[in-house]
Structure 1
Amino acid sequence: METYYLDIWNEMCPIPIIKTQRKLKEMSCGDILILETDHSCTSRALVLWAREHGHEVEENEVSNGIWRLKVTKKHN
């Protein structure tokens, strides 16, 4: 199991979702992708997208206005 990080600071949808899709394609099942964003709407959109596509996702506000998402790839 590998852990990857993706910088999506200051980016608005759909760019973070596109970057997440591309990164997940490179990853194996069970790998983890950590994302951080400073936009609550981006965080919520990514949570919904990941769940709709069958991936496990955890969302935490780690600081005032900073969200960290942990996406576990569940399938290819």
Structure 2
Amino acid sequence: MVKADVMLDAKGLACPMPIVRTKKKMDELKPGQVLEVQATDKGSTADLQAWAKNTGHKYLETRIEGNILHHFLRKDGDYLLEERFAIPTIPLEAFRKKVESNKQPCILDVREIGEYKQAHIPGVIHIPLGEVEKRSNELNKEEEIYVICHSGKRSEIAAQTMRKQGFKKLINVVPGMRDWRGEIEQ
């Protein structure tokens, strides 16, 4: 059974806040220490797993007690961080104009299934963040791909994961569906 050195309360927070607070708290820890993140956002499991993998930390496990998810992550100090390449971003208004043009771009929506079903841009490809690493082979590595989530945080993590797999034409849509005012499907 994993024992935490530090606990972070992220209950009641939605994406991207559990990741933002986890990163901040992880920066305070020493290598080898374990952080317990308590969250109620069901998407936090996939989000934190992808974030940990992308940053070199170790996602240990999740325990569920009622509606509280207890995520355990170990700060890793023995790895060599690969150089992180900045993923280019596009402001939402410029992205909306691209979507509304005659040639719709390839758009990857990495939100959880419930968020996607609520509202999404017509014609997007939906692969939740937690499945991006396994399913990115469904996409063309040579094609320009616009990656979108709720706020821009999960899409950044997804794009970093895809960059490591050889995708070179990735653009992060910021801030994402949270502020989208274009056409949607439900």
Calculate the TM-score normalised by the size of structure 1.
0.84
Matching residue within 70, 73, 76 for 1:74: 76
TM-aligned CA deviation for residue 43 of structure 1: 2.1
The alignment status of 1:56 with 2:42, answered yes or no, reads no
- Farther-moved stretch of structure 1 (49-58 vs 4-13): 49-58
Structure 2 letter corresponding to 1:22: K
Rounded to whole Å, the distance in 2 between the matches of 1:27 and 1:58 is 16
Which structure: greater strand fraction? Answer: 1
> Contact conserved, 1:33 with 1:72, CA < 8 A, in 2?
yes
Say how many residue pairs are matched: 75
Structure 1 letter corresponding to 2:21: K
TM-aligned CA deviation for residue 66 of structure 1: 2.6
Calculate the TM-score normalised by the size of structure 2.
0.37
- Provide the alpha-carbon RMSD of the alignment: 1.8
Match of 1:13 in 2: 15
Write the deviation string for residues 16-40 of structure 1: whole angstroms up to 9, x where unpaired.
Answer: 1111111111110001100111121
**Structure of larger gyration radius:** 2
Match of 1:3 in 2: 5
Rounded to whole Å, the distance in 2 between the matches of 1:43 and 1:21 is 15
> Contact conserved, 2:58 with 2:76, CA < 8 A, in 1?
yes
* Moved beyond 4 Å, runs of 4+: none
Rounded to whole Å, the distance in 1 between the matches of 2:7 and 2:25 is 9
How high is the sequence identity, in percent, across the aligned residues? 25
